[in-house]
Amino acid sequence: MPTLTIMPSGHKSDVAAGTTLLSAILAAGEKLISKCGGQAQCGACHVAINDGRKSLSKTTRAENEKLDAIVGVSSRSRLACQAQMGEEDVTVEILSFV
């Protein structure tokens, strides 16, 4: 089972493939805003992928459209509600704090 490392806390947890980063982050007890309920509508769950980006699911059209509208997006950006874990370890950085 792949490991998700959550920065800046450094918390690590084993996460099943297919689980969204948002679900995994919240299950680990970390705080991450999701105003739209995981529908790629608000962009509040914008995170940076520090390692393991290729292991995540591909970006969807809805995710790309929302990311295009967010200031400060980089090549490491994903919406945690849309990115699903694959079979390899991932390190994610929470960019907004509750």
Please give the pLDDT value at position 97. 57
35-90 pLDDT tens trace: 999 999 999 999 999 999 999 999 999 999 999 999 889 999 999 999 999 999 99
Beta bridge partners of 49: 92
Spatial separation of the C-alpha atoms in residues 46 and 73, rounded to whole Å: 8
**Ordered structural domains, the chain, with CATH:** 3-94 (3.10.20.30)
Is the pTM higher than 0.85?
Answer: yes
Peptide bond into 2 cis (omega under 30): no
pLDDT tops 80 at residue 98: no
